[in-house]
Amino acid sequence: MLLDIFDPKAAPRAVGIDLGTTNSIIAYVRDGAPAALTTCDGAPLLPSVVHYAKSGAVLVGRAAKAQLTREPERTVASVKRFMGRDAHDPETARLGALRFAVPANDEEARSVRFDVGRPKAITPVEVSAEILKSLKQSAVDQLRGVGGVVITVPAYFDDAQRQATKDAGRLAGLEVLRLLNEPTAAALAYGLEQKQNGLFAVYDLGGGTFDVTILLLEDGVFQVKASGGDSALGGDDMDRAIAEGLLEQMAAGSQPPPEAVALALSAARELKHALTEAPEASIELPAKGGANVVAKLSRAQLDALILPLLERTGKACRRALRDAGVEANALDGVILVGGSTRVLRVQSYVAELFGKPPRCELDPELVVAYGAALQADLLTRDDGEVLLLDVLPLSLGIETMGGGVDKILPRNTTIPTGARATFTTYADNQTGFELHVVQGERELAADCRSLARFSLRGIPPMPAGMARLEVELSVDENNLLKVSARETTTGISQEIAVQPSYGLTDDDVERMLIEALDFGEEDLERRRLVETRVEGERLVLATNKGLSVDADLLSTAERAAVDDALGRLKSSIESAASASPIQAAIDRLDHATHEWAGRRMNRAVAQAIAGKSLNDIEKTVEHAAGVDAHVARHRGEPA
């Protein structure tokens, strides 16, 4: 076997991580092709299970999975289903072996917490961070280090779930370059492999989440037309459906002990897996009273158990097709992703639904991680040949008077995106505003996902409708929301702090970071230094690259300022003992290159639209003729 030989001076590689409900995978790009790293379990798949041992040790992967039936309350599986969820979420009431901590106050209730027998209850973000840390270690061992990471999330994840995933990355000491939608990642892996243009559907049924995405692949651009799904639907639900029957056979009663539930769930998984190979499967289980029972399951029984779940996926698929404005027969292919698509009935259901046999040439359990690795590689290479254009999965809106929702950004809008909305006072002498940002498709705000609330006080008395509040929502390429608001009537525009409804605050994450490190703040400062140095080095590279192509856009004085700032940054990277001087040098270079960066963007745009710069375009007949000629050229007609 050939070992990879690394250039010791080369920047550490960016990697891709599929942080799955059941298994997690870390992959990177080697000689242009994605490859999975071996995890601590000696295989590409790392079971997404974390065990908090009595000794204080934390086990991840197969070793933790082995504890699932022994110490179920100290062992967290399928943590992804709890990401971004609060203490009162219905998910906490479903069949499972975990114990939930009762929140001490409203602040704590913003995240569900597991009581794993430690002095402090653990949040899903911390559990996920343990999985990520283990994967990170694999990269450190096999690639010498990690230079940024792309983490995949279900396309249907809402803002709180995405933010939680990003926080977990941060807590694990990873630089999260990008959150990437799983179906888009899979499409990227297929698209780059097959080099085929066309319209595709990605059907992604994982352990705990279901996604469907309709996307158009054309000239290296992966344009998502519509996404849909259910962030609490997957193989786990199949297991639960099977386990309920098993618990009855075990005579476990209506309040089965955690050990019995864990055993039934694990037996359910085994039966489900066995049925992919054989038409019938059986397993021996301990029953109440000491005797064993043999539980049997046939394919026909499994098919009947999971049909209601499949019908829920069918509904989401039909809606995605409708949103994309396409008929199933217009699709060039259907791609299967996720471990649960190994269930035979799932495959036949998808074939019936779309009227064509689905494709699964790439391993459905690895393809998402492959896509994440490819995207990480693209982000660091920056050659512009391949681009992913994703969409907002759920509409964003603001609660109106009477509890309705004013949709400001509809679902399936291409991201990044943003919108402004203006609100006025509804009563005379109203002195404040309460605003509530929600995400979802339901008509009532109470039925949608609450994302953030904010209030504005101290408006001087004036008639109704006079005071104006301008709200701006923007969604970045990671599908993360930013809200800002300004009161504009009084002439004093003030920025308003927005309180997220779920998840951890930045302070929470900071505190967890300090607690997780052996030497607290000292370690954190060291970590910051390393991170800032990496950012500085990257910026030096990017600036040099920019100078090699666009130096003509700088005046002599500007060039001198850029060179000076660049020199200062380089020397601070070499000599600084803490992050702050490097950060200051980064800011200085940022400032010195600001106008130049704008001109470079103008040039890129001008090149993109064939020699016309954005600001020069005039609404003239000549211009229309120019565009017509442009169209004609692209159709191969003489202009």
Residues near another protein (CB under 8 A): 177-178, 218-219, 221, 223, 315, 318-319, 322, 378-380, 382, 384, 387-389, 413-419, 474, 476-477, 538-539, 541-543, 586, 589-591, 593-594, 597-598, 601, 604-605, 607-609, 612, 614, 617, 619, 623-624, 627-628, 630-631, 634
The residue from 18, 158, 237, 377 that is catalytic is 18
Q: Which of 204, 184, 219 is nearest to 391 (CA)?
A: 184
* Residue 145 or 418 having the CB closest to another protein: 418
The residue from 130, 182, 487, 508 that is catalytic is 182
* Residue 357 or 384 having the CB closest to another protein: 384
β-sheet with 387-389: strand ranges across? 333-337, 198-205, 210-218, 221-230, 387-389
* Residue 7 or 383 having the CB closest to another protein: 383
**Catalytic-residue membership of 277:** no
User: How far is 451 from 439, CA to CA, in rounded Å?
Assistant: 7
Tell me the closest approach of the beta carbon of residue 174 to another protein, in angstroms: 15
**Catalytic-residue membership of 80:** yes
The residue from 130, 204, 211, 365 that is catalytic is 204
Tell me the closest approach of the beta carbon of residue 389 to another protein, in angstroms: 6
Tell me the closest approach of the beta carbon of residue 556 to another protein, in angstroms: 21
Largest pairwise CA distance in the chain: 89
Tell me the closest approach of the beta carbon of residue 379 to another protein, in angstroms: 4
* Residue 273 or 612 having the CB closest to another protein: 612
**Catalytic-residue membership of 9:** no
Taking a C-beta distance cutoff of 8 angstroms, is the pair 528, 170 a contact? no
Q: Which parts of 144-279 fold into alpha helices (H)? A: 159-171, 182-194, 235-249, 258-277
The residue from 80, 225, 272, 407 that is catalytic is 80
Q: Encoding tokens for residue 322?
A: 């409708």
* Residue 387 or 560 having the CB closest to another protein: 387
Tell me the closest approach of the beta carbon of residue 562 to another protein, in angstroms: 11
Q: Tell the residue number behind the tokens 């009581």, with chain if given.
A: 115
Q: What is the CA radius of gyration of the chain?
A: 27
CB-side exposure of 177: number of CA atoms within 13 Å? 22
**Catalytic-residue membership of 443:** no
User: How far is 19 from 83, CA to CA, in rounded Å?
Assistant: 11
* Residue 441 or 525 having the CB closest to another protein: 441
* Residue 41 or 377 having the CB closest to another protein: 377
Tell me the closest approach of the beta carbon of residue 483 to another protein, in angstroms: 14
Q: Cα angle vertex 298, ends 296, 303, to 5°?
A: 130
User: How far is 105 from 394, CA to CA, in rounded Å?
Assistant: 30
Cβ-in-10-Å burial (0-12, 13-18, 19+) of 127 comes to: buried
Cβ neighbours of residue 173 under 8 Å, at least 6 residues apart? 133, 136, 527
49-52/58-60 β-pairing? antiparallel
Q: List the beta strands (DSSP E) in 78-174.
A: 149-153
Catalytic residues, by residue number, are 18, 80, 182, 204
